């Protein structure tokens, strides 16, 4: 029997997980006493010499932690590796067989596998699972009691976990049966609620512990260029930090990331200068991100006081991007949290 969505309903949050993985690395960077070898410019191969080997010797020895977290390693997506029944360590080891398509630090190429490598690095140097490390060092300090990297643990705690949906080849809504793959941890797989994400967003906007102010600046700052030419309605190049994107909109800096996991979608947008954040989680992988942006930018325009006649027509853009079957009727469950922190 279906249940109404509340701010405590759990959703898979897809690639917004990457912000937690990068934040975990920042804690290691700051912990000089226990992890002096972990720096943003540390070559990953020096930490994982047997596992982190790329298709090119120079890239193997020079690709740094900052490189893998900002998608500038030269390795493209290769997401099909996750379809194999292999461990996280074996996923990282498989990268030696995958072709690079750019020199390191010359081109932004979104690569989930590099966040798998980051997760493996964290687990190796801390001798803890990524789930345990995030729980002890980020989620518990922020009182995020509804956030997990373990589907079974979320079930054991009797949380209300949303059912994911997608539109099949016949245009019918079908269930994903809450698909979970432990291998993609680091790049995705966080389960959380908008109530918990509100706590996470508040910490970022107010630069609160457990992360340092220096870490926040590093994580949210631009490290690679996704697109050098602004696309309407944005006013600056699109940049990628470490688990976050950034761009100006109507003169306001936005920091954001979307997530898509089979049957689920997520969108987190921050307006740091205004200490304002928006979190949208939903259980339709494709439709939710379009709906989230329509809703998010409506609220942002309201906050910025943009006259209705001067607002960008997001509905037209998304109607061109998605097929007519991906309309609002296919966004079956939507959970929204609008956060304003003084």
Confidence of residue 35 (pLDDT cuts 50, 70, 90): very high
What phi and psi, each to the nearest 5 degrees, are found at residue 334? -130, 130
145-340 topology per CATH: Beta-lactamase (3.40.710)
User: Which residue carries 């140097």 as its tokens?
Assistant: 125
> What CATH code is assigned to 16-139?
3.40.710.10
Q: Which two three-digit tokens encode residue 156?
A: 């054991």
Inform me whether the pLDDT recorded for 232 exceeds 50: yes
Sign of the CA dihedral running 262, 196, 153, 334: negative
Res 329: pLDDT:
35
Q: 286-309 pLDDT, tens per residue?
A: 667 788 888 899 999 999 999 999
Question: Cβ neighbours of residue 28 under 8 Å, at least 6 residues apart?
Answer: 35, 38, 122, 125, 126
Q: 104-117 pLDDT, tens per residue?
A: 999 999 999 999 99
Res 340: pLDDT:
32
**Residue 251 CA from chain centroid, whole number:** 24
Residues of the chain with CATH 3.40.710.10: 16-139, 145-340
Helix (H, G, I), strand (E, B) or coil at 269: strand
278-285 mean pLDDT:
88
Q: 171-229 pLDDT, tens per residue?
A: 788 888 766 677 889 999 999 999 999 999 999 999 999 999 999 999 999 999 999 99
């Amino acid at each position: 029997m279906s249940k109404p969505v509340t701010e405590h309903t759990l959703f898979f949050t897809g690639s917004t997980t990457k912000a937690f993985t990068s934040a975990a690395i920042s804690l290691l960077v700051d912990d000089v006493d226990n992890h002096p070898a972990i720096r943003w410019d540390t070559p990953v191969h020096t930490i994982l010499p047997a596992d982190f080997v790329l298709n090119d010797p120079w890239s193997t020895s020079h690709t740094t932690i900052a490189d893998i977290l900002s998608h500038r390693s030269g390795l493209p997506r290769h997401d099909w590796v996750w379809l194999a029944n292999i461990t996280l360590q074996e996923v990282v080891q498989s990268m030696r067989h995958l072709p690079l398509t750019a020199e390191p630090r010359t081109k932004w190429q979104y690569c989930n596998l590099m966040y798998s490598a980051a997760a493996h690095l964290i687990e190796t140097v801390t001798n803890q699972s990524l789930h345990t490390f995030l729980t002890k060092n980020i989620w518990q300090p922020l009182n995020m009691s509804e956030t997990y990297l373990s589907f079974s643990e979320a079930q054991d705690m009797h949380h209300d976990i949303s059912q994911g949906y997608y539109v099949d080849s016949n245009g019918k809504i079908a269930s994903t049966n809450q698909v979970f793959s432990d291998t993609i941890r680091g790049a995705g797989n966080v389960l959380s609620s908008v109530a918990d994400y509100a706590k996470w967003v508040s910490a970022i906007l107010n630069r609160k512990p457990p992360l340092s102010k220096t870490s926040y600046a590093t994580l949210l700052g631009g490290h690679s260029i996704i697109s050098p030419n602004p696309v309407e309605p944005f006013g600056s190049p699109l940049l990628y930090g470490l688990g976050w994107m950034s761009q100006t909109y109507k003169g306001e800096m936005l920091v954001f990331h979307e997530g898509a996991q089979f049957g689920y979608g997520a969108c987190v947008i921050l307006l740091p200068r205004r200490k304002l954040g928006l979190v949208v989680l939903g259980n339709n992988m494709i439709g939710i991100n379009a709906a989230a942006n329509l809703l998010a930018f409506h609220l942002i325009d309201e906050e910025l006081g943009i006259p209705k006649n001067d607002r960008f027509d997001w509905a037209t853009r998304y109607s061109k991007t998605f097929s007519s079957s991906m309309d609002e009727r296919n966004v079956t469950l939507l959970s929204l949290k609008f956060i304003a922190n003084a």
